[in-house]
């Protein structure tokens, strides 16, 4: 299953598009309306901002446990290409195999329940039959027997699921990132960070440690219960719809930050939103993070008047340390200038929904 | 030379204390360069020095700046004292000793970050808890740095930026540190503006 998808699946719903080279990725008008715009007010600063990951508004990215959208098939092809170029983007320390099975079960059960038209899971004891129609996969295997799958359970299921995933082992009152499938990351290296504690892998984040954000977040996550997942947003900015902004390949994509002008800003600059969901896993007691990346072009987002006004104000007023950490300090003024045309100074309503 | 004082840094950057004797069945000491002075200070603090020395194994190598105090350590009279010429030749002996080390072994690491980090990595890989490992920094502050791009490790980095000894990219040195790799992270400094490389300055001595 490396690049041998049989996606006869670009039939109407799933878009045939690229996240590299010619960058044909875009959102449909329906996709823009359901974009998870992450700002619920006109300014931004870190907060723990976690809420229960329960089923949200119908049609929104919160409706299902693992959102499957129009970019699904193309994202999975992009992931396969990243892994073919650099297998170190998926790693799992030896003691994390059981957590991988836990995650496989969670994803298969969720997708089969939420999207029966695309996924099906039938069980005969430990003999499981999984069908993934969009990717053309039909797999019979024995649950908890690695030899019956073409990859380890963690890699197998995350090659079929949008978003990056990391698995945290809980020891010594801490969470240790001991496995990851990381191909659509906002510039951090799994290969470097694997095995780190919660505070260690968050160490480079500015301002938040001093505000006690990570102390509170870790305490909160250690209490996470099976069956009661939580979610939060994170965000950054990315030039071109490039999912794989990895530090490993920074010399390749870094120069694109110098290619922006007022003429191409709307098409090239993307708000990159991470919908992070956290799940306690039942057998391993590990914590799964899903880090789902949504990319929205500036020119797409400003078609929603409220978002155009608000995005301008957030970008213009963001603390410079955060703009630097998120990698867009050098372009911030130009971004704010382009967005200012969509801010008429009118007040915005609270919350992130497009028309509330 | 006494314990090195480092400025406050991000939370993945290792912190070091001062070695103190603890009760243990075996005292495994790994040191390089000026770390030898931390070892002699440690033994001077022992309440029963003779008994501690009788269950002490010292593994030592000269520091990256050439400092060699192996004679001081040999004069202590530990049950075992070994001088390796380099860190890479020290590690196989450490790994062999770890196979026989039982719970209750106390670990004392002293010297440069490269030596301390690699010894700690190998000790933790055998399952000993971090609480059984004491670390004291002495001497050179040169860094062991992994290039995030090619994964190559460059030893004894003194300047920032520096040229990766494997792929040749110009890297700036972060404080972000991986205990699994025993290395700091190096990132291409002119990725966004190829060719614009700031003047290299000696930052780690």
Ranges of each domain in chain B: 26-137, 143-202
- Return the CATH fold of B26-137: Rossmann fold (3.40.50)
pLDDT digits (tens, 9 = 90+) for A87-140: 999 999 999 999 999 999 999 999 999 999 999 999 999 999 999 999 999 999
Which of A192, A249, A257 is facing B185, going by the closest CB pair? A192
The whole-angstrom distance between B59's CA and the closest CA on chain A is 27
Query: How confident is the model at residue A10, as a pLDDT?
Result: 62
| A-B contacts at Cβ under 8 angstroms | 67
Under a CB-based contact definition with an 8 Å cutoff, are residues A81 and A3 in contact? yes
> Residues B70-94: what's their mean pLDDT?
97
Chain B residues inside the 8 Å CB shell of A211: none
Side-chain-side CA neighbours of A162 within 13 Å: the count stands at 22
- Asked whether residue A40 is domain-assigned, the answer is yes
Does the beta-carbon distance from B151 to A88 stay under 8 Å?
Answer: yes
What is the residue range of A155's domain? 29-340
What is the rounded CA–CA span in Å between residue B180 and residue A314?
38
Alpha helix (H) ranges present in chain A?
A: 29-33, 72-85, 97-114, 153-158, 190-193, 198-201, 213-222, 250-253, 265-268, 298-301, 305-317, 320-325, 332-340
Q: Is the pLDDT of residue A356 over 80?
A: no
- Asked whether residue A10 is domain-assigned, the answer is no
Strands B153-157 and A287-297: unpaired
Name the residue among A208, A196, A217 with its Cα closest to residue A49: A217
- Asked whether residue A143 is domain-assigned, the answer is yes
What is the rounded CA–CA span in Å between residue A232 and residue A349?
20
Q: Is the pLDDT of residue B44 over 60?
A: yes
Query: How confident is the model at residue B3, as a pLDDT?
Result: 86
Question: For chain A, how many structural domains are there in total?
Answer: 1
> Residues A162-190: what's their mean pLDDT?
97
- Asked whether residue A19 is domain-assigned, the answer is no
- Asked whether residue A21 is domain-assigned, the answer is no
**In this predicted structure, which of A217-221, A351-355, B38-42 has the lowest mean pLDDT?**
A351-355
Q: Is the pLDDT of residue B1 over 70?
A: no
Which of B13, B151, B174 is facing A191, going by the closest CB pair? B151
**In this predicted structure, which of A42-56, A109-123, A181-195, B104-118 has the lowest mean pLDDT?**
A42-56
pLDDT band with cut points at 50, 70 and 90 for residue A2: very low
Does the beta-carbon distance from A255 to B191 stay under 8 Å?
Answer: yes
For A250, the closest chain B residue by CA position comes to B191
Q: Is the pLDDT of residue A157 over 70?
A: yes
Percent of chain A scored above 70 by pLDDT? 97
Which of A189, A196, A254 is facing B12, going by the closest CB pair? A196
> Residues B127-132: what's their mean pLDDT?
87
> Residues A14-30: what's their mean pLDDT?
96
- Asked whether residue A346 is domain-assigned, the answer is no
Q: Tell whether A207 lies on the interface with B, counting CB pairs under 8 A.
A: no
Q: Is the pLDDT of residue A8 over 60?
A: no
Residues of A with catalytic annotation?
232
Q: Is the pLDDT of residue A3 over 50?
A: no
Mutation to test the B interface, candidates A92, A192, A246, most B Cβ within 10 Å: A192
What is this model's ipTM? Answer: 0.92
All residues at 6 or more sequence positions from A180 whose CB lies less than 8 Å from its CB, including other chains: A90, A91, A92, A164, A165, A166, A167, A190, A193, A194
Q: Is A172 left (phi over 0), alpha (psi -120 to 50) or beta?
A: left
């Amino acid at each position: 299953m490396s690049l041998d998808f049989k996606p006869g699946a670009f039939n109407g719903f799933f878009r045939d598009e690229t996240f590299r080279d010619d960058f044909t990725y875009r959102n449909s008008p329906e996709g823009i309306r359901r974009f998870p715009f992450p700002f619920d007010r006109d300014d931004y600063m870190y907060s723990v901002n976690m809420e229960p990951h329960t089923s949200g508004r119908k049609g929104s990215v919160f409706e299902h446990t693992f959102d499957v959208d129009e970019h699904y098939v193309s994202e999975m092809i992009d992931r396969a290409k990243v892994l073919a170029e650099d297998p170190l983007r998926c790693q799992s320390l030896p003691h994390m195999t059981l957590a991988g099975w836990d995650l496989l079960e969670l994803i298969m059960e969720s997708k089969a329940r939420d999207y029966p038209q695309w996924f099906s899971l039938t069980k005969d004891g430990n003999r499981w039959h999984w069908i993934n129609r969009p990717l053309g996969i039909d797999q019979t295997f024995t649950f908890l027997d690695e030899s019956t799958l073409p990859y380890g359970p963690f890699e197998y299921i995350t090659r079929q699921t949008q978003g990056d995933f990391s698995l945290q082992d809980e020891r010594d009152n801490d969470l240790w990132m001991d496995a990851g499938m990381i191909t659509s990351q906002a510039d951090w290296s799994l290969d470097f960070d694997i095995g780190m504690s919660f505070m260690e892998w968050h160490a480079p984040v500015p301002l938040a440690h001093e505000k006690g954000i990570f102390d509170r977040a870790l305490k909160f996550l250690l209490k996470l219960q099976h069956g009661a997942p939580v979610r939060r947003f994170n965000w950054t900015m990315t030039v071109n719809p490039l999912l794989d902004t990895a530090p490993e390949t920074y010399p390749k994509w870094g120069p694109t930050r110098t290619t922006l002008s007022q003429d191409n800003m709307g098409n090239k600059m993307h708000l990159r939103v991470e919908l992070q969901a956290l799940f306690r896993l039942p057998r391993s007691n590990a914590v799964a993070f899903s880090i789902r990346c949504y990319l929205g072009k500036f020119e797409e987002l400003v078609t929603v008047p409220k978002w155009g006004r608000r995005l301008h104000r957030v970008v213009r007023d963001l603390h410079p340390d955060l703009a630097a950490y998120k990698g867009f300090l050098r372009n911030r003024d130009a971004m704010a200038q382009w967005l200012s045309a969509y801010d008429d100074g009118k007040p915005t309503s609270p919350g992130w929904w497009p028309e509330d | 030379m006494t314990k090195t004082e480092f400025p406050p840094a991000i939370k993945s950057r290792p912190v070091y204390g001062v070695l103190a004797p603890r009760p243990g069945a075996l005292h495994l000491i790994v040191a390089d360069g000026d770390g030898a002075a931390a070892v002699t200070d440690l033994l001077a603090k022992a309440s029963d020095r003779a008994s501690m020395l009788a269950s002490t194994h010292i593994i030592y190598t000269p520091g990256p700046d050439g400092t060699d105090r192996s004679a001081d350590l040999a004069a202590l009279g530990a049950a075992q004292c070994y001088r390796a010429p380099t860190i890479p030749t020290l590690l196989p002996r450490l790994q062999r000793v770890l196979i026989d080390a039982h719970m209750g072994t106390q670990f004392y690491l002293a010297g440069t970050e490269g030596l301390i980090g690699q010894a700690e990595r190998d000790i933790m890989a055998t399952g000993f808890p971090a609480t059984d490992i004491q670390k004291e920094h002495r001497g050179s502050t040169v860094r062991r740095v992994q290039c995030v791009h090619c994964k190559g490790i460059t030893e004894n980095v003194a300047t920032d930026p520096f040229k990766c000894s494997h792929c040749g990219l110009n890297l700036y040195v972060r404080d972000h540190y991986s205990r699994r790799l025993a290395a700091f992270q190096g990132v291409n400094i002119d990725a966004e503006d190829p060719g614009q490389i700031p003047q290299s300055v000696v930052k780690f001595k």
